[in-house]
Amino acid sequence: MRTPRIVIVGAGFGGLQTAQSLANSGADVCLIDRNNYHTFVPLLYQVATSQLEPEYIAYPIRRILRRFSGKRQKHKPKTRFLWAEMQRIDFSAQVVETDRCAIAYDFLVLATGSKTQYLGVTGASEYAFPMRTLEEAIKLRNQILTCLELANQESDRVIRQQLLTFTIVGGGATGVEIAGALMEMLRGKFRRDYPRLDLQQVRLILVQSGDRLLSELPKKLGVYTYNRLSQLGVEIYLQTRVSQVTPESVHLQNNEVIPTATVIWTAGLEANFPQTSAEISTAKKEKILVHPTLQLLEQPNVYAIGDLAYIEQNKPLAGVAPEALQQGVTVARNIQQQLRGKPAKPFSYFNKGRLAIIGCYSGVGKIGNFAFTGFLAWVMWLGVHLVYLPGYRSRLLVLLSWLYTYLLGDRAVRLILPI
Amino acid sequence: MRTPRIVIVGAGFGGLQTAQSLANSGADVCLIDRNNYHTFVPLLYQVATSQLEPEYIAYPIRRILRRFSGKRQKHKPKTRFLWAEMQRIDFSAQVVETDRCAIAYDFLVLATGSKTQYLGVTGASEYAFPMRTLEEAIKLRNQILTCLELANQESDRVIRQQLLTFTIVGGGATGVEIAGALMEMLRGKFRRDYPRLDLQQVRLILVQSGDRLLSELPKKLGVYTYNRLSQLGVEIYLQTRVSQVTPESVHLQNNEVIPTATVIWTAGLEANFPQTSAEISTAKKEKILVHPTLQLLEQPNVYAIGDLAYIEQNKPLAGVAPEALQQGVTVARNIQQQLRGKPAKPFSYFNKGRLAIIGCYSGVGKIGNFAFTGFLAWVMWLGVHLVYLPGYRSRLLVLLSWLYTYLLGDRAVRLILPI
């Protein structure tokens, strides 16, 4: 029998896990990504707030694949990496077309994740700063540092206040985490760098459309987060929507205009939907509707996982890393079932819990029915992210950076490097 | 008496040293740079060859200035930083004009360094990769990694060979150091990342116009370097000049054409000469002619140091960091002499020696009349650069990276990040 060819598109959590679970299957696996690195997305906001260097949370894909070829394994792994961007899928020819070449597949796993959705707000895609990719996190870091430098030079009080006003749109985990980290950065030892600038003038505004923060977690945790961020000095606007973003301001739907040089957009996501030769069923936000086995409704040899897939387990999944990781394992197992002529099995999500960090020494968490706040959640958050980070080198460097940030209250990374 | 205003333009080795030496003089010091960081130029080539992360060798200027304000010092230091690019100097008004604002001075220290000179070679400024700034080093790293990825995908043998051919123009310390590091990178454990690519096909060509490498050091060291690089597999063309650079090739003056996707330019430098309201005397390569006291011939309250200044001490200075550092100390002392109504004193260079590294475990050095090669020079090079690197954090991170590179024969940093 010819060696089966499995193509995985996207080297995020789901795609990488699928590749790893298939490494010793004997199949010819090809992993495609438009970057030559895997981005550890949960720590992106720490790159944006000058805590971590980009290289700490971006791991070269080839090095990850190299690790799959341990000495104890029986089969020589056949995982290849192709640095390319997917353009289109031809289901009838069973070919993935990329900007570099076309790849034939017997099984296809789509794990292209999500991208920022601006919810139709005028000016948002032009002037707001999204934070979904490493490049975007670096651009946001440059913007924050540039605003401080320019404010330091500015003699006009109104322009200075505008430069020192940062607005975050979206009160989910990313919005909350960046709000806490940014406030601590601007009020910590960092201010010794700008002795002529009164960083008490910094305004940090968090705009949330719903009636509480962290709406996916129990109400108690949202209230705790609200109080904690308020203590840090964050101004929180609940039940407020943004109607327009300009280079100098953000307009709210209640007609209030906030002069602000920086609008950080964490409000919406939609699936990175691929171009296809035949129509496929989708749910809201361009997500692909899949069977409980994660197979596409129309294509039994094509799977979709992670943020790209729509699947209900009592309620829709939340789009977090553990879901994608577990789906990667399921897909690898199902493909091997199919290769043996057996039916694919349904995916079942085991929810280990959720954690979010608010700032130094505080966080919120939910494990099973147990919701908790404070130092314990903070420590657990750090520990979990350290364990899941790929590679010992990254773990060591991130740990050193955290000691630096949290013990000294300072920020290490401060280059304004055009990108 | 009004507090004297001293403006320093450029935060390289010379400018920073001047600022540090003046920190407790009581004067109002303003340091201007177009970047918000100091670049530790001698280690740039290690960024380009994926050994070090950019942040390790780029130190935030505000953090350096913060360190000047130790607790034991009597005067509260008055060193300010201005993130701006100098546009023009008006000597009669005593004002430095920048892209952001104009700054008045009583004394001015010019330390704007040098930039790449392409010696009139057609296509060099468009297609060759210089390596004088952090941005350029990152671009070169992206280029090297991109060539490997593309070669890995390429089925055409001729194009693949072109992608795997790297040409370095210039056989000075930078050219030699990057040649050794690049060869070891491409022949080391790194090749495990490209199991389908025969990295023995890599060609690394070093083109040098003179009749030996490292022409500023004793002949014996140049010969040792030639042999060592040849052993590593570098093809060295002596007494050869480049006549043209294209995106696909480099043309030599002997009419040979080498198909190569990457040309690294380390051949020429010229001073970053400022625009001025009145003419000033210059020497070759746009360097400013200065008195032995480092004062401009025409402007007794303006100094020039480092790569920008032309001064002979028996023979012209070589343009290395220790010269700029020592000149910074002299300028600070001379300005204080002038403030006290006393005459400025001439600069005298104390040559501590020169070191260059060729690759893992080998280097060359000259201290006084003692020229030496091999492991000792290599260890000394590492030690000296570690000591001079600003900040304990950078030192620790660079040391860890070196252990990683030299003990494991691997490269840690491999992001292709558009810049």
Give the mean model confidence (pLDDT) for residues A261-286: 93
Q: Cα(A169)–Cα(A130) distance, rounded to whole angstroms? A: 10
pLDDT higher than 80, residue A316: no
Cβ contact B205:B258 at 8 Å: yes
Q: Interface of chain A against chain B, CB under 8 Å?
A: 35-37, 53-55, 58, 60, 62-63, 66, 80, 82-84, 100-101, 134-135, 138, 145, 149, 153, 192-194, 196, 393, 396-397, 400, 404, 412-419
Contact B62 A193 (CB under 8 A): yes
Report chain A residues whose CB lies below 8 A from the CB of B62: 193-194, 414
The separation between the first and the last C-alpha atoms of chain A, rounded to the nearest angstrom, is 49
Q: Cα(B279)–Cα(B284) distance, rounded to whole angstroms? A: 15
Average predicted confidence (pLDDT) for chain A: 92
Q: Cα(A123)–Cα(B400) distance, rounded to whole angstroms? A: 45
Report chain B residues whose CB lies below 8 A from the CB of A153: 82-84, 100-101
Contact B53 A55 (CB under 8 A): yes
pLDDT higher than 70, residue A50: yes
Listed ranges B27-36, B60-69, B355-364; the one with the highest mean pLDDT: B27-36
Angstroms from A418 CA to nearest CA on chain B: 6
Torsion angle (degrees, nearest 10) of CA A38, A40, A183, A362: -170
pLDDT higher than 60, residue B154: yes
Contact residues for A22 (Cβ-Cβ < 8 A; gap 6+): A6, A29, A79, A332, A335, A336
Predicted pLDDT of residue B392: 84
* Whole-Å CA distances, B408 to A297, B84, B254, B318, B380: 48, 42, 41, 35, 20
Interface test with B, best of A144, A145, A417, A419 (most B CBs within 10 A): A417
Q: Which conformational region is residue A391 in: left (phi greater than 0), alpha (psi within -120 to 50 degrees), or beta?
A: left
Catalytic residue list of A: 177
Cβ contact B408:A29 at 8 Å: no
Encoding tokens for residue A75? 């089969």
Angstroms from A242 CA to nearest CA on chain B: 31
pLDDT higher than 60, residue B72: no
Q: What is the ipTM of this complex?
A: 0.90
Angstroms from B75 CA to nearest CA on chain A: 16
> Over the Cα atoms of chain A, what is R_g?
22
Report chain A residues whose CB lies below 8 A from the CB of B415: 35-37, 54-55, 58, 60, 134
Interface size A-B, in CB pairs within 8 Å, comes to 97
Predicted confidence (pLDDT) per residue in A359-415, tens digit: 888 999 999 889 999 999 999 999 999 999 988 888 998 998 898 888 887 777 788
Cβ contact B58:B389 at 8 Å: no
Report chain B residues whose CB lies below 8 A from the CB of A135: 417-418
DSSP H or E run through B408? helix B392-408
Cβ contact B114:B21 at 8 Å: no
Encoding tokens for residue A276? 């296809």
Predicted pLDDT of residue A77: 59
Cβ contact A47:A419 at 8 Å: no
Predicted pLDDT of residue A403: 87
Predicted confidence (pLDDT) per residue in A212-265, tens digit: 999 989 999 999 999 999 999 999 999 999 999 999 999 999 999 999 999 999
Predicted pLDDT of residue A284: 87
Q: Cα(B10)–Cα(B274) distance, rounded to whole angstroms? A: 11
pLDDT higher than 60, residue B191: yes
Predicted pLDDT of residue A411: 79
Bridge partners, B359 (sequence order): B362
Predicted confidence (pLDDT) per residue in B259-297, tens digit: 999 999 999 899 999 999 999 999 988 999 999 999 999
**Environment class of residue A270 by beta-carbon count within 10 Å: exposed (0-12), middle (13-18) or buried (19+)?**
middle
pLDDT higher than 80, residue B257: yes
Contact A415 B37 (CB under 8 A): yes
Predicted pLDDT of residue A198: 87
Predicted pLDDT of residue B67: 78
Q: What is the residue whose two structure tokens read 């210059």?
A: B282
Helices (H), B50-193: 61-68, 124-127, 134-153, 157-163, 173-187
* Whole-Å CA distances, A341 to A24, A294, A300, A337, A344: 19, 17, 13, 6, 9
Determine what percent of chain B is predicted with pLDDT higher than 70.
Answer: 97
Contact residues for B5 (Cβ-Cβ < 8 A; gap 6+): B27, B28, B30, B104, B105, B106, B107
Report chain B residues whose CB lies below 8 A from the CB of A393: 404, 412
Angstroms from B141 CA to nearest CA on chain A: 13
User: Among residues B405, B418, B390, which one has the least CA distance to residue B63?
Assistant: B390
Cβ contact B41:B323 at 8 Å: no
The separation between the first and the last C-alpha atoms of chain B, rounded to the nearest angstrom, is 49
DSSP H or E run through A304? strand A302-304
Cβ contact A165:A205 at 8 Å: yes
Predicted confidence (pLDDT) per residue in B346-371, tens digit: 999 998 899 999 988 899 999 988 99
Contact A55 B196 (CB under 8 A): no
* Whole-Å CA distances, A67 to A20, A54, A70, A111, A327: 9, 21, 6, 21, 21
Angstroms from B225 CA to nearest CA on chain A: 32
Compute the half-sphere exposure of residue B58: CA atoms within 13 Å on the CB side of its CA: 22
Encoding tokens for residue A287? 């997500």
Name which residue leads in pLDDT, A150 or A68: A150
Cβ contact A225:A358 at 8 Å: yes
Encoding tokens for residue B102? 């104009």
Which residue from B153, B192, B419 is facing A101, i.e. has the nearest CB? Answer: B153
Per-residue pLDDT band at A417 (split at 50, 70, 90)? confident
Predicted confidence (pLDDT) per residue in B94-120, tens digit: 999 999 999 999 999 999 999 999 999
Angstroms from B366 CA to nearest CA on chain A: 35
Contact B414 A63 (CB under 8 A): yes
Predicted pLDDT of residue A148: 94
Q: Checking DSSP bridges between strand A288-289 and strand A309-310, what pairing results, if any? A: parallel
Report chain A residues whose CB lies below 8 A from the CB of B409: none
Predicted confidence (pLDDT) per residue in B301-341, tens digit: 999 999 999 987 777 777 889 999 999 999 999 999 999 99
Per-residue pLDDT band at A70 (split at 50, 70, 90)? low
Contact B415 A192 (CB under 8 A): no
Cβ contact A169:A242 at 8 Å: yes
Interface test with B, best of A51, A55, A404 (most B CBs within 10 A): A55
What pTM does this model have? 0.93
Catalytic residue among B136, B177, B184, B323: B177
